[in-house]
Amino acid sequence: MIKVIKLKRVAAVCIAAVLTISCAAAVSSERARTVSGEYIKWVDFTPTTSALRQALEIDIKSHDSDTPVGWIELLAYAACKNGGKFAGGKDKYITQLYERIQNAEDIEVITSDMKYYSYFYEAYSAVLSGYVGYNEDGEYGVLVRSPFAAGYYYSHFDDFGVARSYGYKRKHLGHDMMGSVGTPIMAVEGGRIEALGWNQYGGWRVGIRSDDGRRYYYYAHLRKDKPFAEGLREGDTVKAGQLIGYLGMTGYSSKENVNNINTPHLHFGIQLIFDESQKDGVNQIWIDCYQIINFLEKYRAKV
Protein backbone atom coordinates (compact mmCIF):
# COMPACT_ATOMS: atom_id res chain seq x y z
CA MET A 1 0.00 0.00 0.00
CA ILE A 2 2.80 2.38 0.98
CA LYS A 3 4.50 1.53 -2.28
CA VAL A 4 1.39 2.48 -4.25
CA ILE A 5 1.09 5.83 -2.51
CA LYS A 6 4.78 6.48 -3.09
CA LEU A 7 4.43 5.67 -6.78
CA LYS A 8 1.45 7.97 -7.08
CA ARG A 9 3.38 10.75 -5.42
CA VAL A 10 6.31 10.21 -7.77
CA ALA A 11 3.95 10.31 -10.76
CA ALA A 12 2.35 13.52 -9.48
CA VAL A 13 5.75 15.13 -9.01
CA CYS A 14 6.73 14.02 -12.51
CA ILE A 15 3.58 15.48 -14.02
CA ALA A 16 4.07 18.72 -12.12
CA ALA A 17 7.65 18.89 -13.38
CA VAL A 18 6.49 18.21 -16.90
CA LEU A 19 3.89 20.95 -16.76
CA THR A 20 6.41 23.44 -15.41
CA ILE A 21 8.63 22.67 -18.36
CA SER A 22 5.85 23.13 -20.87
CA CYS A 23 4.79 26.45 -19.31
CA ALA A 24 8.34 27.67 -19.76
CA ALA A 25 8.31 26.58 -23.37
CA ALA A 26 7.26 29.84 -24.93
CA VAL A 27 8.27 29.16 -28.49
CA SER A 28 9.07 25.50 -28.91
CA SER A 29 9.70 22.57 -26.66
CA GLU A 30 12.97 21.96 -28.48
CA ARG A 31 14.24 25.36 -27.44
CA ALA A 32 12.95 24.90 -23.90
CA ARG A 33 14.92 21.71 -23.65
CA THR A 34 18.12 23.39 -24.85
CA VAL A 35 17.74 26.37 -22.55
CA SER A 36 16.84 24.55 -19.36
CA GLY A 37 18.42 21.15 -20.07
CA GLU A 38 15.06 19.64 -19.13
CA TYR A 39 13.15 16.89 -20.87
CA ILE A 40 9.77 15.23 -20.51
CA LYS A 41 9.57 12.95 -17.48
CA TRP A 42 6.18 11.36 -17.90
CA VAL A 43 3.59 10.67 -20.62
CA ASP A 44 0.09 9.25 -20.37
CA PHE A 45 -0.84 8.32 -23.90
CA THR A 46 -4.63 8.69 -23.94
CA PRO A 47 -5.88 9.31 -27.52
CA THR A 48 -8.53 6.73 -28.42
CA THR A 49 -8.41 4.61 -31.57
CA SER A 50 -11.19 6.71 -33.06
CA ALA A 51 -9.30 9.95 -32.27
CA LEU A 52 -6.18 8.52 -33.89
CA ARG A 53 -8.12 7.48 -36.99
CA GLN A 54 -9.90 10.84 -37.27
CA ALA A 55 -6.68 12.82 -36.95
CA LEU A 56 -4.90 10.54 -39.41
CA GLU A 57 -7.68 10.90 -41.98
CA ILE A 58 -7.41 14.70 -41.84
CA ASP A 59 -3.60 14.53 -41.99
CA ILE A 60 -3.71 12.40 -45.15
CA LYS A 61 -6.53 14.21 -46.94
CA SER A 62 -5.10 17.67 -46.16
CA HIS A 63 -1.51 16.71 -46.97
CA ASP A 64 -1.48 17.99 -50.55
CA SER A 65 -4.08 20.71 -49.99
CA ASP A 66 -3.65 24.44 -49.29
CA THR A 67 -4.37 23.84 -45.61
CA PRO A 68 -2.26 20.88 -44.52
CA VAL A 69 -2.32 19.89 -40.86
CA GLY A 70 -0.49 17.03 -39.20
CA TRP A 71 -2.23 14.48 -37.02
CA ILE A 72 0.13 15.14 -34.11
CA GLU A 73 -0.86 18.82 -34.13
CA LEU A 74 -4.54 17.85 -34.23
CA LEU A 75 -4.14 15.43 -31.32
CA ALA A 76 -2.05 17.86 -29.26
CA TYR A 77 -4.61 20.64 -29.77
CA ALA A 78 -7.47 18.31 -28.81
CA ALA A 79 -5.56 17.15 -25.71
CA CYS A 80 -5.16 20.76 -24.57
CA LYS A 81 -8.89 21.33 -25.04
CA ASN A 82 -10.04 18.10 -23.39
CA GLY A 83 -7.34 17.67 -20.76
CA GLY A 84 -6.15 14.45 -22.39
CA LYS A 85 -9.59 12.78 -22.16
CA PHE A 86 -10.60 11.81 -25.68
CA ALA A 87 -13.55 9.51 -24.92
CA GLY A 88 -17.21 10.58 -24.81
CA GLY A 89 -17.19 12.81 -27.87
CA LYS A 90 -14.23 14.83 -26.63
CA ASP A 91 -12.39 14.05 -29.85
CA LYS A 92 -14.55 16.74 -31.55
CA TYR A 93 -11.70 19.21 -31.05
CA ILE A 94 -9.76 17.41 -33.78
CA THR A 95 -12.24 18.56 -36.42
CA GLN A 96 -12.52 21.92 -34.68
CA LEU A 97 -8.84 22.66 -35.29
CA TYR A 98 -9.10 21.49 -38.89
CA GLU A 99 -12.03 23.84 -39.49
CA ARG A 100 -10.11 26.74 -37.98
CA ILE A 101 -7.14 26.04 -40.22
CA GLN A 102 -9.40 25.76 -43.24
CA ASN A 103 -10.74 29.19 -42.25
CA ALA A 104 -7.22 30.57 -42.71
CA GLU A 105 -6.30 30.70 -39.02
CA ASP A 106 -2.63 30.07 -38.23
CA ILE A 107 -1.72 27.08 -36.06
CA GLU A 108 1.03 29.02 -34.28
CA VAL A 109 -1.35 31.83 -33.42
CA ILE A 110 -4.07 29.39 -32.32
CA THR A 111 -1.75 27.47 -30.03
CA SER A 112 0.37 30.37 -28.77
CA ASP A 113 -1.71 30.84 -25.62
CA MET A 114 -2.31 27.13 -25.03
CA LYS A 115 -0.22 26.40 -21.98
CA TYR A 116 0.34 22.68 -22.54
CA TYR A 117 0.41 22.54 -26.32
CA SER A 118 4.19 22.18 -26.60
CA TYR A 119 4.17 19.44 -23.96
CA PHE A 120 1.46 17.41 -25.73
CA TYR A 121 3.05 18.06 -29.12
CA GLU A 122 6.43 16.75 -28.00
CA ALA A 123 4.95 13.85 -26.02
CA TYR A 124 2.74 12.69 -28.91
CA SER A 125 5.57 13.22 -31.40
CA ALA A 126 7.70 10.85 -29.35
CA VAL A 127 4.98 8.20 -29.71
CA LEU A 128 3.77 8.79 -33.26
CA SER A 129 6.44 10.51 -35.33
CA GLY A 130 7.46 7.35 -37.20
CA TYR A 131 3.89 6.32 -38.04
CA VAL A 132 3.10 8.43 -41.08
CA GLY A 133 5.21 9.43 -44.07
CA TYR A 134 6.22 8.44 -47.58
CA ASN A 135 6.65 4.77 -48.33
CA GLU A 136 9.11 3.25 -50.80
CA ASP A 137 6.67 3.89 -53.65
CA GLY A 138 6.51 7.58 -52.78
CA GLU A 139 2.98 7.37 -51.40
CA TYR A 140 2.03 9.27 -48.26
CA GLY A 141 0.33 7.21 -45.57
CA VAL A 142 0.73 4.89 -42.59
CA LEU A 143 4.15 3.23 -42.36
CA VAL A 144 3.71 1.13 -39.20
CA ARG A 145 2.24 -2.37 -38.96
CA SER A 146 0.49 -4.51 -36.36
CA PRO A 147 2.82 -6.86 -34.47
CA PHE A 148 0.51 -9.74 -35.53
CA ALA A 149 0.89 -10.93 -39.12
CA ALA A 150 -2.19 -10.81 -41.37
CA GLY A 151 -4.60 -13.68 -40.84
CA TYR A 152 -3.56 -14.62 -37.30
CA TYR A 153 -6.08 -14.35 -34.47
CA TYR A 154 -5.49 -12.67 -31.14
CA SER A 155 -7.52 -11.46 -28.19
CA HIS A 156 -6.61 -8.64 -25.86
CA PHE A 157 -7.89 -6.09 -23.37
CA ASP A 158 -6.41 -3.01 -21.72
CA ASP A 159 -4.12 -4.63 -19.15
CA PHE A 160 -1.60 -1.82 -18.75
CA GLY A 161 -0.67 -1.17 -15.14
CA VAL A 162 -2.27 -4.29 -13.64
CA ALA A 163 -0.29 -6.11 -10.95
CA ARG A 164 2.41 -8.67 -11.73
CA SER A 165 4.20 -10.66 -9.08
CA TYR A 166 6.92 -12.80 -10.71
CA GLY A 167 10.27 -11.78 -9.17
CA TYR A 168 8.90 -8.73 -7.38
CA LYS A 169 5.60 -6.86 -7.12
CA ARG A 170 5.31 -4.48 -10.04
CA LYS A 171 3.00 -3.00 -12.61
CA HIS A 172 2.45 -4.50 -16.05
CA LEU A 173 4.22 -2.02 -18.32
CA GLY A 174 3.03 -3.39 -21.62
CA HIS A 175 0.24 -4.99 -23.53
CA ASP A 176 -0.53 -8.72 -23.80
CA MET A 177 -1.93 -10.19 -27.02
CA MET A 178 -3.14 -13.76 -26.58
CA GLY A 179 -2.68 -16.01 -29.61
CA SER A 180 -1.30 -19.33 -30.83
CA VAL A 181 2.26 -20.49 -30.38
CA GLY A 182 4.15 -19.92 -33.63
CA THR A 183 2.18 -16.86 -34.79
CA PRO A 184 4.57 -14.68 -36.85
CA ILE A 185 5.45 -11.48 -34.99
CA MET A 186 6.27 -8.46 -37.13
CA ALA A 187 8.18 -5.26 -36.36
CA VAL A 188 5.68 -2.45 -35.74
CA GLU A 189 8.15 0.21 -36.75
CA GLY A 190 11.54 -0.05 -38.38
CA GLY A 191 14.73 0.52 -36.43
CA ARG A 192 17.79 -1.11 -34.97
CA ILE A 193 17.77 -4.30 -32.89
CA GLU A 194 19.12 -3.20 -29.55
CA ALA A 195 18.44 -6.41 -27.63
CA LEU A 196 17.91 -9.98 -28.75
CA GLY A 197 18.14 -13.01 -26.50
CA TRP A 198 17.03 -14.28 -23.11
CA ASN A 199 15.69 -12.14 -20.31
CA GLN A 200 14.46 -13.65 -17.03
CA TYR A 201 11.14 -11.81 -17.26
CA GLY A 202 10.50 -11.58 -20.99
CA GLY A 203 11.98 -14.95 -21.93
CA TRP A 204 13.15 -14.86 -25.55
CA ARG A 205 12.72 -11.24 -26.45
CA VAL A 206 13.57 -8.62 -29.06
CA GLY A 207 14.02 -4.89 -28.39
CA ILE A 208 14.00 -2.50 -31.34
CA ARG A 209 14.90 1.20 -31.17
CA SER A 210 13.26 3.55 -33.67
CA ASP A 211 15.54 5.45 -36.04
CA ASP A 212 14.93 8.74 -34.22
CA GLY A 213 15.88 7.01 -30.94
CA ARG A 214 12.74 8.06 -29.08
CA ARG A 215 10.87 4.73 -29.06
CA TYR A 216 11.94 1.29 -27.85
CA TYR A 217 9.66 -1.56 -28.90
CA TYR A 218 9.75 -4.66 -26.74
CA TYR A 219 8.46 -8.05 -27.97
CA ALA A 220 8.61 -10.79 -25.33
CA HIS A 221 7.76 -14.43 -24.44
CA LEU A 222 8.71 -15.61 -27.93
CA ARG A 223 8.68 -19.29 -28.90
CA LYS A 224 10.79 -21.97 -27.21
CA ASP A 225 13.57 -23.46 -29.40
CA LYS A 226 12.95 -21.18 -32.40
CA PRO A 227 12.05 -17.72 -31.11
CA PHE A 228 13.52 -15.40 -33.74
CA ALA A 229 13.36 -14.89 -37.49
CA GLU A 230 16.18 -16.68 -39.30
CA GLY A 231 19.48 -14.86 -39.14
CA LEU A 232 18.28 -11.92 -37.03
CA ARG A 233 21.08 -10.45 -34.88
CA GLU A 234 21.58 -7.64 -32.41
CA GLY A 235 22.60 -4.50 -34.29
CA ASP A 236 20.61 -5.43 -37.42
CA THR A 237 18.25 -2.95 -38.98
CA VAL A 238 14.66 -4.03 -39.59
CA LYS A 239 11.76 -2.50 -41.47
CA ALA A 240 8.18 -2.05 -40.33
CA GLY A 241 6.23 -5.22 -41.07
CA GLN A 242 9.35 -7.41 -41.19
CA LEU A 243 9.16 -10.82 -39.53
CA ILE A 244 11.16 -10.74 -36.30
CA GLY A 245 10.01 -13.82 -34.37
CA TYR A 246 7.25 -16.15 -33.26
CA LEU A 247 4.72 -16.00 -30.44
CA GLY A 248 5.40 -18.34 -27.55
CA MET A 249 5.28 -18.73 -23.78
CA THR A 250 8.89 -18.44 -22.61
CA GLY A 251 10.01 -16.41 -19.60
CA TYR A 252 9.68 -16.10 -15.84
CA SER A 253 12.80 -18.21 -15.49
CA SER A 254 16.46 -17.49 -14.92
CA LYS A 255 17.21 -20.60 -16.96
CA GLU A 256 17.18 -20.09 -20.74
CA ASN A 257 14.65 -21.51 -23.17
CA VAL A 258 12.03 -22.40 -20.57
CA ASN A 259 8.25 -22.17 -21.03
CA ASN A 260 7.03 -20.80 -17.75
CA ILE A 261 4.13 -18.63 -18.92
CA ASN A 262 0.67 -20.19 -18.61
CA THR A 263 -1.04 -18.56 -21.58
CA PRO A 264 0.73 -18.19 -24.94
CA HIS A 265 0.87 -14.49 -25.72
CA LEU A 266 2.98 -11.68 -27.06
CA HIS A 267 3.99 -9.11 -24.50
CA PHE A 268 4.31 -5.90 -26.47
CA GLY A 269 5.68 -2.71 -24.95
CA ILE A 270 6.51 0.82 -26.08
CA GLN A 271 9.03 2.79 -24.06
CA LEU A 272 9.61 6.51 -24.67
CA ILE A 273 13.11 7.94 -24.35
CA PHE A 274 13.53 11.71 -24.23
CA ASP A 275 16.92 11.37 -22.58
CA GLU A 276 19.19 8.32 -22.49
CA SER A 277 19.02 8.32 -18.68
CA GLN A 278 15.40 7.11 -19.11
CA LYS A 279 16.37 3.94 -20.98
CA ASP A 280 17.15 1.84 -17.89
CA GLY A 281 16.55 2.21 -14.18
CA VAL A 282 13.75 3.91 -12.27
CA ASN A 283 12.91 6.74 -14.69
CA GLN A 284 11.51 4.62 -17.52
CA ILE A 285 8.39 5.75 -19.37
CA TRP A 286 6.22 2.98 -20.79
CA ILE A 287 2.88 3.83 -22.35
CA ASP A 288 -0.46 2.06 -22.56
CA CYS A 289 -0.51 0.51 -26.07
CA TYR A 290 -4.12 -0.76 -26.14
CA GLN A 291 -5.50 2.00 -28.38
CA ILE A 292 -2.41 1.88 -30.58
CA ILE A 293 -2.81 -1.88 -31.10
CA ASN A 294 -6.46 -1.33 -32.04
CA PHE A 295 -5.38 1.42 -34.41
CA LEU A 296 -2.80 -0.91 -36.00
CA GLU A 297 -5.38 -3.66 -36.58
CA LYS A 298 -6.07 -2.19 -40.05
CA TYR A 299 -2.40 -2.41 -40.95
CA ARG A 300 -1.31 -6.03 -40.85
CA ALA A 301 1.74 -7.23 -42.76
CA LYS A 302 1.75 -10.48 -44.71
CA VAL A 303 4.41 -13.05 -43.93
| Interface contacts to Zn ion, rule CB under 5 A | 174, 176, 267
Which residues is 238 bridged to in the sheet? 191
Which residue number, 190 or 248, has a Cβ lying nearer to Zn ion? 248
Min separation Cβ 266 and Zn ion, Å: 8
Choice between 162 and 303, CB closer to Zn ion: 162
DSSP structure string for 219-245? EESBPSS--B-TT--TT-EE-TT-EEE
- The least CB distance from residue 274 to Zn ion, in Å, is 24
Question: Least distance in Å: CB of 292 to Zn ion?
Answer: 15
Residues 210, 239 contacting (CB under 8 angstroms): no
For Zn ion, the closer of residues 117 and 286 by Cβ is 286
What amino acid occupies position 190?
Answer: G
Tell me the closest approach of the beta carbon of residue 98 to Zn ion, in angstroms: 37
**Angle at which helices 49-62 and 71-82 cross, to 10°:** 140
Residue at 217: amino acid letter:
Y
Q: Considering the complex, what minimum distance in angstroms separates the CB of residue 269 from Zn ion?
A: 8
Nearest approach in angstroms of CB 300 to Zn ion is 21
* Rg of the chain, C-alpha, whole Å: 20
CB nearer Zn ion, residue 174 or residue 241? 174
Q: 59 vs 176, which CB is nearer to Zn ion?
A: 176
CA-CA distance, 30 to 176, in Å (whole number)?
Answer: 34
Closer to Zn ion by CB, 209 or 267: give it. Answer: 267
Residue (of 127, 117, 46) closest to 81 by Cα position: 117
Give residues with Cβ within 8 angstroms of 74, minimum separation 6.
54, 55, 58, 59, 94, 97, 98
Q: What is the largest CA-CA distance in the chain?
A: 62
Closest residue by beta carbon to Zn ion: 267
